[in-house]
A = this chain, B = another copy of it.
Amino acid sequence: MEKEKKINASVEATSNKQVIYREPVRGSLKETHLGVRTSSERLKADEDSGAIAVKNLYLACDPYNLNLIKFSAQLGSPIPGYGVARVLESGHPNFKKGDLVWGMTGWEEYSLITAPESCFKIEHTDVPLSYYTGLLGMPGVTAYAGFFEVSSPKKGETVFISAAAGAVGQLVGQFAKLLGCYVVGSAGSKEKVDLLKNKFGFDDAFNYKEEQDLDAVLKRCFPEGIDVYFDNVGGKMLDAVLPNMKLRGRITVCGMISQYSLEQPEGVHNLMNLLLKRVRMEGFVVSDHYHLYPKFLEMVLPLIREGKIVYMEDIAEGLKNGPAALVGVFSGRNVGKQVVVVSRE
């Protein structure tokens, strides 16, 4: 109620292309659940409204978007998502016209952000702006907090990362290498496995789709066991990892992408290993860790500038290609972080 009262936005006739939520998603996300339309209305943020009106530049495609769609999207309205945007009008004291921000916005050319307190102002523009949808945005803080804060990693430990070629996984692997860990990743294609080994500097990597016996490949990669499992997928891989954990290992549950599209989640049978090996398994969500963002930037910006962290994006041009790009994330079609370019300004 308070919020609604404060916002005193006005509507201006203009063209605003949007990706809207057309049909309720049950199992997996399909392109038919989404639609592209051009609205002739655009919301403006009046002075003291507390809101900001923005022009969206880049949108992030993450597994997380499916939860956003399922739990926050309104049928017939643009789907929400993380993005990078330019402030056109500000009714909020923290922002002024021309500022660049990243945070929760809509899949459309122009958005009204009614709670801009949760957006981050972009101060450093000597790196590609699109990076703020990934490496320097939500997935970046996710990798940083999930690895350094939740996983309690130590130099020399063994680290296994699933969905390792994804936005979060490729960073966790590089952070782990920088710390001096032995790092192995799994991914779903030969191309991604090659990238992990040759571009991201992983010690080893495998294509889980080509392995009949996940337990055997984990034993081959980690003859002495796994200290840290950074879990992005859950399900069968988690079950295979559990008996391969080392004493006092840690399983950081960052995502369970293998389960998101199932109506009934799979059963995990090997939890007894938590007891036998004194393993700590912990879920986390990045929003609890955003206070670390300045500390994270301080670490990661120099590493990017010095080329000590590499980062790969898979770019889809234009909102009209957005639905296909987003759906592709769930089948692992993208190589590197999937980004939708709305406008290069």
Contacts and interface: CB of A to CB of B under 8 A. Distances in A.
A256 B271 contact: yes
A282 B270 CA distance: 14
Given A266-B267, A267-B266, A282 B272 contact: no
Interface in A224-280: 234, 238, 253-256, 259, 264-280
A281 B278 contact: no
A273 to B, nearest CB: 8
Interface residue range, chain A: 20 to 34
Interface stretch (A40-48, A88-96, A190-198, A283-291): A283-291
B281 A280 contact: yes
A109 to B, nearest CB: 32
Interface centre among A265, A268, A279, A283, by most chain B C-beta atoms within 10 angstroms, is: A283
A284 B274 CA distance: 8
Nearest to A238: B271
Interface in A176-207: none
B281 A234 contact: no
A176 to B, nearest CB: 21
Nearest to A265: B269
Copies in the complex: 2
A289 to B, nearest CB: 10
Contacts of A276: 283
Contacts of A284: 275, 278
B274 A278 contact: no
Contacts of A273: 283
Contacts of A283: 273-280
Interface string A6-43: 00000000000000000000000000000000000000
A38 to B, nearest CB: 36
B271 A253 contact: yes
A270 B265 CA distance: 7
A278 B252 CA distance: 10
A269 B271 contact: no
A231 to B, nearest CB: 9
Contacts of A288: 278
A237 to B, nearest CB: 12
Nearest to A284: B278
A282 B285 contact: no
A278 B285 contact: yes
Contacts of A270: 265
Contacts of A271: 234, 238, 253, 256, 265, 268
A265 B275 CA distance: 14
A281 B275 contact: no
Contacts of A279: 282-283
Interface in A44-67: none
- The 9 A-B pairs with the shortest beta carbon distances in the complex, nearest first, are A267-B267, A274-B283, A275-B283, A280-B282, A281-B281, A265-B269, A253-B274, A253-B275, A268-B268
16 contacts: A234-B272, A253-B275, A256-B272, A265-B270, A265-B272, A268-B268, A274-B281, A275-B283, A275-B284, A276-B283, A277-B283, A278-B282, A278-B283, A280-B281, A280-B283, A281-B281
Given A267-B267, A279-B282, 7 more contacts: A234-B271, A265-B272, A268-B269, A274-B281, A277-B283, A278-B285, A282-B282
